[in-house]
Structure 1
Amino acid sequence: MRNHDTGFPRIDAEHDFLRARRRQVLSRLATWLRREPDDVNITLPFDEVVEALGREGEQRIGLRVIRLDSIVGSVDRGRDFDRRFRPTSARVRQRWERLALASRRGEHIPPIDVYRVGDLHFVIDGHHRVSVAYALGLSTIEANVIVVRTTLDPGGIRYRGDLIVKGYRRLFLERVPLRGEARAAVVVTDPWDYAELGEHVEAWGFRLMQDEGTFLDRATVAHRWYTDEYVPVVRMLRQADLVGDRTEAEAYLWVAGERYRLIRTHRWDDEVIEAVRSRRR
């Protein structure tokens, strides 16, 4: 028996709900006091996550035991529960307490249904069951799992705001279809930089096609840009100590813009590097 239990399951189930609501309110207050982003305690919306990452297919893999802390989002009930599935209002109280009572009596609780994206899970059906499991101190839960394959790796997604970066990166990789090492190497943190970099690569590819007098598809342009332009330039920037605390792609984009603004050229040589370095001082 828990140290706060009365021994009367119905009363304890009511107390479980009130404690969960109190913790949700205190969590919202703490977020406000720390001036954290509004989306810190919001469950991730499945449709927005998959749209940002690019949906490629799905596979039903059946019953699994999953960790509660891997459940980060919902298909359609995000407003009723926060990120740790604490109830956000009294609207769900009646059903919530029935499930808590059943759990305390040892009755069978059906598995929940979830989508799996990478290591993350999104509840299709069973939001109240997840909430009750959290409130009762459990760490795992049974779930019927459907694995969803996406174009981008969902790694790094914590909050709703992270989806903006993922979405812009997916669009960038559609415009500039890098592969393998190149795909992993070209990363920026500001989502708008992906849009700017995509335009830059397309302009570079247009000039290349003009110079060579032939049409090149997007995959070829992306490969040529990375090997002929990006890698040599990043090497120069590192030697000149112009990368700093940026990612290599951010340093490349910044210096490319400064190069053209300062001396109106698309070439790379020592004069360009020195002009940009002098400007930085």
Structure 2
Amino acid sequence: MSRDTGFPRADAEHDFLRARRRQVLSRLSTWLRREPDDVNITLPFDEVVAALGWEGQRRLGLRVITLDSIVGSVDRDSDFDRRFRPTSGKVRQRWERLALASRRGESIPPVEVYRVGELHFVIDGHHRVSVAHALGLGTIDAFVTEVRTKLDPAGIRYRGDLIVKDYRRLFLARVPLTGEARASVIVTDPWDYAELGEHVEAWGFRLMQDSGTFLDRATIAARWYADEYQPVVRMLRQADLVGTRTEAEAYLWVAGERYRLIRTHSWDDDLFEALRARRR
């Protein structure tokens, strides 16, 4: 909550000092908990869109958006942290001027943002967002431009999450799964997407060799999911070999172990017995 002494100018000064103090304490807390360095920085809009894959955009006009949904900026040299607290004193003069205007009830222009999924990125109005946070507001007026991306941004919290999205986007370009198949093939390590993509392409090459027919990527992806992935995952569950992995991670693990143990691409009971023995 904002502090109110009845003297707007003094209160605006206190607002800024309190916001700076909270930013410093947050940075110290992050260091003490040994969290990643990126947990307190604003997400860079261009990196997010590059990882997700840009498809198009449209202007939505004036909207009321929640402050908590604003997670990033188009400005790579932002003077604010993830919660839009000022990271130095160089923004103080302009910041306090806006805080004073807000406390006096003066009209504040809407900010301008990009919308990606449910996330918002500031184009113009960083100081206004910062002041709104400091005054304890929950929403802010904004001119919104919606950006459509190939991948859903759900799950992005920190900058480090972008590499997983980026590798998933590349995987889906190589293995264009759709519908339920697209949603269910998930791994947590970005490098696993690269390995899985190579595995599916090798499976597709063997399929074309056996059939003597050229198949495009979409057909191979659909055939791999239906004829290879789903049956193997069912067997893994029956054999209690999925564990804490995702199904795709379990599949990738057993596919590698299969060839190392029995040097064949077939699936049989001997393989699963060998895998169970290795797990004990």
1:193 and 2:195 aligned: no
Decide whether the 8 Å contact of 1:43 with 1:78 is kept in 2. no
Residue 78 of structure 1 and its aligned partner are, at CA, apart by 5.0
Q: Which residue of 1 aligns with 2:73?
A: 74
The separation in 2 between residues aligned to 1:119 and 1:132, in whole angstroms, is 22
The separation in 2 between residues aligned to 1:273 and 1:216, in whole angstroms, is 31
> What's the TM-score, normalizing by structure 1?
0.98
1:96-149 Cα distance to aligned partner (Å, 9 max, x none)? 111111111111100000000111100000000000000111000000000100
Q: Which residue of 2 aligns with 1:41?
A: 40
Residue 14 of structure 1 and its aligned partner are, at CA, apart by 1.1
5+ long unaligned stretches in structure 2: none
Residue 11 of structure 1 and its aligned partner are, at CA, apart by 1.5
Q: Which residue of 2 aligns with 1:113?
A: 112
The separation in 1 between residues aligned to 2:224 and 2:234, in whole angstroms, is 14
Within 5 A, what are the aligned runs for 1:99-178?
A: 99-178=98-177
Within 5 A, what are the aligned runs for 1:212-231?
A: 212-231=211-230
> What's the TM-score, normalizing by structure 2?
0.98
Residue 77 of structure 1 and its aligned partner are, at CA, apart by 5.0
Q: Which residue of 2 aligns with 1:32?
A: 31
Decide whether the 8 Å contact of 2:2 with 2:134 is kept in 1. no
Decide whether the 8 Å contact of 1:209 with 1:215 is kept in 2. yes
Compare 57-66 and 3-12 and name the one that shifted more: 3-12
Decide whether the 8 Å contact of 1:13 with 1:100 is kept in 2. yes
Query: Which secondary structure state, in structure 1, belongs to the residue aligned with residue 183 of structure 2?
Result: helix
Query: Which secondary structure state, in structure 2, belongs to the residue aligned with residue 15 of structure 1?
Result: helix
Residue 6 of structure 1 and its aligned partner are, at CA, apart by 2.7
1:13-51 Cα distance to aligned partner (Å, 9 max, x none)? 111111100000000001111111111111100000001
The separation in 1 between residues aligned to 2:217 and 2:76, in whole angstroms, is 40
Q: Which residue of 1 aligns with 2:92?
A: 93
The separation in 2 between residues aligned to 1:277 and 1:78, in whole angstroms, is 53
Residue 79 of structure 1 and its aligned partner are, at CA, apart by 3.2
Decide whether the 8 Å contact of 1:111 with 1:142 is kept in 2. yes
**Counterpart residue identity of residue 204, structure 2:** G
Query: Which secondary structure state, in structure 2, belongs to the residue aligned with residue 91 of structure 1?
Result: coil
Change (3 A) 1:3 1:224: closer
**Counterpart residue identity of residue 260, structure 1:** Y
Change (3 A) 1:269 1:30: same
The separation in 2 between residues aligned to 1:120 and 1:229, in whole angstroms, is 36
Q: Which residue of 2 aligns with 1:245?
A: 244
The separation in 2 between residues aligned to 1:130 and 1:166, in whole angstroms, is 27
1:155-187 Cα distance to aligned partner (Å, 9 max, x none)? 111111111110000000000000000000100
Decide whether the 8 Å contact of 2:3 with 2:14 is kept in 1. no
Decide whether the 8 Å contact of 1:42 with 1:78 is kept in 2. no
Decide whether the 8 Å contact of 2:3 with 2:15 is kept in 1. no
Residue 279 of structure 1 and its aligned partner are, at CA, apart by 1.6
Compare 10-19 and 82-91 and name the one that shifted more: 10-19
Query: Which secondary structure state, in structure 2, belongs to the residue aligned with residue 161 of structure 1?
Result: helix
The separation in 2 between residues aligned to 1:265 and 1:90, in whole angstroms, is 65
1:206 and 2:205 aligned: yes
Decide whether the 8 Å contact of 2:114 with 2:146 is kept in 1. yes
Query: Which secondary structure state, in structure 1, belongs to the residue aligned with residue 229 of structure 2?
Result: helix
Decide whether the 8 Å contact of 1:13 with 1:97 is kept in 2. yes
Query: Which secondary structure state, in structure 2, belongs to the residue aligned with residue 253 of structure 1?
Result: helix
Q: Percent identity?
A: 84
The separation in 2 between residues aligned to 1:197 and 1:259, in whole angstroms, is 15
The separation in 2 between residues aligned to 1:171 and 1:49, in whole angstroms, is 14
The separation in 2 between residues aligned to 1:125 and 1:6, in whole angstroms, is 30
The separation in 2 between residues aligned to 1:261 and 1:148, in whole angstroms, is 45
Number of equivalenced pairs: 280
The separation in 1 between residues aligned to 2:219 and 2:65, in whole angstroms, is 42
